[in-house]
Amino acid sequence: MNLFHRGPGRVTVREAAEHTGHGPAAEGKGGTGDALLLDVREPCEWQAGHAPGAVHVSLSALAAGVSLPAEAQGRPLVVICRSGNRSRQAAELLVARGAPAVDVIGGMREWLRAGLPVVDQQGMNGTVA
């Protein structure tokens, strides 16, 4: 299923996990997905806990015109924040810039509720701030 064909769509955490290599189906494939998870929360939130392998650029930085990191350029992006509000804004901004992007309904709160992995900046069990 192509999540990125209609502009800034929305996906569930399960769909996000599947397409970014975090879900059970991805484990048998070596843990890689076809899209990159982009976390747009502020640095203190990111440091408290984020999905392993996610890339971080805050919404405020994106809005200020900061470019995506090299590993995010040219890739489909699944954008996540704490609850889904900032990620929706970021996905709209990224699509307007020509990047394929969708946002995650419920954000990291729903990610954690779904039992998906969250690590802190040291790689230990993290929390959603």
User: What positions carry a catalytic annotation?
Assistant: 81
Do the strands 77-80 and 101-104 form a parallel or antiparallel pair, or are they unpaired?
A: parallel
Residue 119: C-alpha distances to residues 96, 106, 112 (Å)? 31, 18, 11
Q: What are phi and psi of 93, to 5 degrees?
A: -65, -45
